[in-house]
């Protein structure tokens, strides 16, 4: 009987996938178009970009890829900020370039606190890229939940 249960478990695992594979099904994807349009202080930038972040629900691990181009000057800070809606300003909650190198594409990951998790899932986190010309931010975009 024990061998039958073990064989059944192995077949079910092969058919249904491993726990880590099913965990990816629970991931939440967020995206933002980043431009000068959402900045709370107007900028005159032709820059643009995209941000995609993936939240692993089970671990609160956030992974990101942010691309940008045509900035008016060198980038100085890139981060996620919250809690705030479009038009307001908030503090940085995730440094998108913790090693200090800010170039496109920015890729990395971090474990979120419960508070930042709540900000993110309620749509109150934005991406902001600051430059030497625009110290308060040149490109910005609110992260919105996306379909997979």
Residue 20: per-residue pLDDT? 38
Residue 122: per-residue pLDDT? 94
Higher pLDDT, 21 or 69: 69
Question: How far is the C-alpha of 129 from the C-alpha of 33, rounded, in Å?
Answer: 12
Residue 38: per-residue pLDDT? 82
Contact partners, residue 39, CB within 8 Å, separation at least 6: 134, 136, 137, 138, 139, 140
pTM: 0.81
Question: How far is the C-alpha of 138 from the C-alpha of 39, rounded, in Å?
Answer: 7
Question: How far is the C-alpha of 65 from the C-alpha of 69, rounded, in Å?
Answer: 14
Percent of all residues in the chain with a pLDDT value above 90, rounded to a whole number = 70
126-to-15, 32, 44, 140 alpha-carbon distances in Å? 39, 8, 19, 7
Q: How confident is the model at residue 147 (pLDDT cuts 50, 70, 90)?
A: confident
Q: Mean pLDDT throughout 65-74? A: 98
pLDDT tens across 72-123, in order? Answer: 999 999 999 999 877 788 999 999 999 899 999 999 999 999 999 999 999 9
**Is a pLDDT exceeding 80 seen at residue 5?**
no
**Is a pLDDT exceeding 90 seen at residue 144?**
yes
Residue 148: per-residue pLDDT? 64
- Which value, in Å, is the radius of gyration of the alpha carbons in the chain? 19
| CATH of span 25-146 | 2.60.40
Higher pLDDT, 26 or 57: 57
Residue 31: per-residue pLDDT? 97
Q: Compute the mean pLDDT over every residue in the chain, rounded to the nearest whole number.
A: 85
Question: How far is the C-alpha of 90 from the C-alpha of 133, rounded, in Å?
Answer: 20
């Amino acid at each position: 009987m024990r061998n039958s249960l073990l064989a059944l478990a192995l077949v079910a695992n092969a058919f249904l996938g491993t726990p880590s594979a099913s965990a990816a099904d629970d991931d939440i994807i967020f995206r933002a178009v980043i431009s000068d349009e959402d900045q709370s202080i107007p900028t005159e930038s032709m820059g643009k970009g995209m941000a995609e972040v993936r939240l692993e629900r089970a671990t609160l691990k956030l992974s990101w890829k942010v691309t940008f181009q045509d900035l008016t000057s060198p980038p100085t800070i890139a981060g996620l900020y919250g809690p705030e809606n479009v038009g307001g300003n908030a503090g940085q909650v995730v440094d998108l370039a913790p090693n200090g190198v800010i170039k496109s594409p920015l890729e990395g990951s971090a474990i979120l606190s419960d508070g930042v998790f709540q900000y993110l899932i309620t749509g109150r986190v934005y991406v902001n890229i600051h430059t030497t010309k625009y110290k308060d931010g040149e490109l910005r975009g609110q992260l919105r939940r996306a379909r997979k």
